[in-house]
């Protein structure tokens, strides 16, 4: 899945993908964020809304910061899926990683996967933040 899969979809289709994702985990994270990215990049919210911020708050019922974080998380998953088969499962898990450079995202996520190999649950934001700190990447 990548951005091209969403480019030809209507605003109504993209809203449905965001509001009612049919996928779970990293696939839902990716599709929801990419739907928002296409809406924002292509200004599909115009002329009915005064801007993307107003659009997401009034039409989708989420804050602008949440929408922005969803887009960032999707962009992170797009990048990481080129290198890993296991990916962050939620926006909150992705959040500590999006602050890092691409090289440090790879380093941190690789270490998270090494540390959590064999765990029953996907790594959450606290585990990821601790790993980033352990690697000293939170100071970069």
- pLDDT bucket at 4, cuts 50 / 70 / 90: confident
The pLDDT of residue 47: 84
Give me 137's structure tokens: 């990447």
Both tokens of 127, joined, read 């585990």
pLDDT at 56 (0 to 100): 96
* pLDDT higher than 80, residue 140: no
Give the model confidence (pLDDT) of 29-81 as tens digits: 999 999 999 999 999 999 888 899 999 999 999 999 999 999 999 999 999 99
Q: Burial letters for 63-80: b for 16+ Cβ neighbours within 10 Å, e otherwise?
A: eeeebbbbbbbbbbbbbb
Q: What DSSP string describes 53-72? A: HHHIIIII---HHHHHHHHH
Give pLDDT tens digits for 82-134: 999 999 999 999 999 999 999 999 999 999 999 999 898 889 999 999 999 99
């Amino acid at each position: 899945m990548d951005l091209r899969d969403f480019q030809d979809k209507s605003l109504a289709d993209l809203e449905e993908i965001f509001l009612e994702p049919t996928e779970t985990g990293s696939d839902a994270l990716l599709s929801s964020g990419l739907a928002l990215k296409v809406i924002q990049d292509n200004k599909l919210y115009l002329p009915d809304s005064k801007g993307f911020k107003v659009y997401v708050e009034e039409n989708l019922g989420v804050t602008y910061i949440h929408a922005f974080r969803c887009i960032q998380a999707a962009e992170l998953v797009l990048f990481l899926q080129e290198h890993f088969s296991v990916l962050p499962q939620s926006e909150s898990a992705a959040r500590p990683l999006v602050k890092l450079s691409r090289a440090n995202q790879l380093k941190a996520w690789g270490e998270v996967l090494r540390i959590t190999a064999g765990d029953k649950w996907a790594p959450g934001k606290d585990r990821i933040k601790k790993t980033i700190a352990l690697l000293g990447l939170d100071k970069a």
